[in-house]
């Protein structure tokens, strides 16, 4: 083999190596994103678990096994996270909704629903969630 042939092969090896390293860098970046999302979700789950000891959440007009004594008012909350972090945004919105209801003296939030999202029409990758519900005081 002459020097020219060796250099041609070396060029191909360099191109393949660069391509492989690029793919590896993309995979590494994605795995870091996934890990960051997991860490945030675990922290939010911890906060939500603590709040669930103080306040109930229901998508129905009543909390199962409890009676609503009085309504305290509507509560809304928005959760925002980066693109692809919809679950983080949902948990942030739920956490904020529960905190707002607790500030009103509520024992529960009923009729919890997504606001501003049109099923099938909304890009779920936006990382923005709005929740709404009614803060209520439960009967003893």
Per-residue pLDDT reduced to its tens digit, 33-92 = 889 888 989 999 999 999 999 999 999 999 999 999 999 999 999 998 877 778 888 999
For residue 8, being part of any structural domain is answered with: no
Q: What's the pLDDT score for residue 3? A: 78
- Whether 118 is in a domain gets the answer yes
**Whole-structure pTM value:** 0.73
Give the pLDDT score at 125: 57
Extract the tokens encoding 47. 């906060």
Residue 16 predicted with pLDDT over 60 = yes
The answer on pLDDT for 135 being more than 60 is: yes
Q: For 2-62, where are the E strands, in sequence order?
A: 56-57
What residue has token string 């660069």? 18
What's the domain count of the chain?
A: 1
Is residue 88 in some structural domain? yes
Question: What is the DSSP code (8-state) at residue 127?
Answer: -
pLDDT, position 2? 80
Give the pLDDT confidence score for residue 109 in this predicted structure.
97
The answer to whether residue 16 sits within a structural domain is no
Q: Give residue 37's domain range.
A: 32-138
Q: Is residue 24 part of a domain?
A: no
CATH of residue 42 = 3.30.110.70
| 103 domain-assigned | yes
In a domain, 26, yes or no: no
Tell me whether residue 120 is in a domain: yes
């Amino acid at each position: 083999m002459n020097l020219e042939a060796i250099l041609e092969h070396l060029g191909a090896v360099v191109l393949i190596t660069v391509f492989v390293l690029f793919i590896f860098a993309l995979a590494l970046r994605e795995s870091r994103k996934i890990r960051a999302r997991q860490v945030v979700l675990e922290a939010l789950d911890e906060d939500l678990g603590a709040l669930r000891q103080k306040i109930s959440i229901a998508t129905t007009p009543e909390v199962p096994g409890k009676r609503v004594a009085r309504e305290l008012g509507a509560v809304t909350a928005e959760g925002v996270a980066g693109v692809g972090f919809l679950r983080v945004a949902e948990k942030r919105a739920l956490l904020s909704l529960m905190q707002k209801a607790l500030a009103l003296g509520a024992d529960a939030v009923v009729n919890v629903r997504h606001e501003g999202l049109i099923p099938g029409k909304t890009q779920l990758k936006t990382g923005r969630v709005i929740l709404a519900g009614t803060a209520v005081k439960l009967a003893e």
